[in-house]
Amino acid sequence: MESKPKVSIVVPCYNEEESVPSLVERLRILVKSQPNWEVVFVNDGSCDRTGKLLDEAAAKFEWARVCHHPTNLGLGAGVRTGLLNTCSPYVCTIDSDGSYPPESLPHFVDLLIAGADIVTASPWHPDNDTAEGGLHRLILSRGVSWCYRIVTRAHLYTFTALFRAYRREVVDRVGFESNGFPAVTEILIRAIAHGYRVAEVPMPLLPRERGESKMSLGKAVRGHLKLLARTPGWMRSEREKSLRPFSSARL
């Protein structure tokens, strides 16, 4: 593998021992067809065999690396650690539970090469089939995405999908404070304020293949309410500093 991979895939994992073997195998097949790609797993303080399984994968495959948090810090913290440990020109973040197919990532990267700054999966796009995720995920994700669409005035349908691809410039420039699930939305909002071009890919939200969701519905709702309250004033300030207007696209 090249010393500087073209694409890095960041995968936050927390107590996903049931999902890891299948995920690693799917990523192995993907990376085999994309030899200059790497995968950076972040074990976010798992208390099951997740860390051990990921270490075994990293020892077996040269395309795999693992970062460990000694305690559970949250999805946002896992994403941050993964991003800080990559240097590729294109970076993807994906779920560890099989909600979205990692096999679609080459298409996402192609859209970056074509001109997008961020490419995000969009289960709530009107061109998409009916999503099949858990009830709490459907209600929370769709509801808050609708709220963020109004508050940001961005012509986007999904703000909460972790499954994305970014240009390096976005990763380096756009910071985020949240350590929890709302971090995914915060990254997108900050990117919108900076004027980055966002492309949505209609994609079904599938039920997780194995294990259970680690999302605390109450904590996620509180986090999004806090972020929603901050968004209007914060975006106004960021847009004043931004040199480019925001644009979205279905590419």
Q: Per-residue pLDDT for 55 more than 90?
A: yes
Q: Is 142 helix (H, G, I), strand (E, B) or coil?
A: helix
Q: Flag whether 31 is in a domain.
A: yes
Q: Per-residue pLDDT for 144 more than 90?
A: no
Which of the two residues, 168 and 227, has the higher pLDDT score? 168
CATH, residue 238: 3.90.550.10
Q: Flag whether 142 is in a domain.
A: yes
Q: Flag whether 110 is in a domain.
A: yes
Q: How far apart are CA 248 and CA 9, in angstroms?
A: 23
| Segments forming the whole domain that contains residue 32 | 7-249
Q: Flag whether 2 is in a domain.
A: no
Q: What is the pLDDT of residues 74-130, one digit of tens each?
A: 999 999 999 999 999 999 999 999 889 999 999 999 999 999 999 999 988 888 765
Q: Flag whether 37 is in a domain.
A: yes
Q: How far apart are CA 182 and CA 192, in angstroms?
A: 15
Q: Flag whether 28 is in a domain.
A: yes
Q: Flag whether 85 is in a domain.
A: yes
- Work out how many domains the chain is built from and give that number: 1
Q: Flag whether 108 is in a domain.
A: yes
Q: Are 65 and 81 in contact (CB under 8 A)?
A: no
